[in-house]
Amino acid sequence: MKGSIRIEPATTLNELVVADQRFLPVFTRLGLDSCCGGSVTLREAAQHHGLDLDALLAELRRT
């Protein structure tokens, strides 16, 4: 189901997890809360956690 969602900076964590549970281990490893904090976008999550947005997007696209 991964192909049905675009992995973009404005995509929320929840949108990704609902589309495909395989994103959960990546979020867990990086300390990203896809449950209670899942309404944040990938851009916001990367900024908040000091992650490189481009690297995060690339990793999620490989997942």
Structural domain spans, the chain: 2-62
Instruction: Show Cβ contacts of residue 2 under 8 Å, excluding neighbours closer than 6 positions.
Output: 19, 20, 22, 63
d(CA 36, CA 57): 21
Which tokens belong to 16? 């990704």
Q: For the chain, what is the radius of gyration of the CA atoms?
A: 10
Residue 21 DSSP SS3: helix
Residues 16-39: pLDDT tens digits?
999 999 999 999 999 998 877 679
Is the pLDDT score of 10 beyond 60? yes
**CATH 3.20.20, applies to 2-62:** no
CB 56 within 8 A of CB 13: no
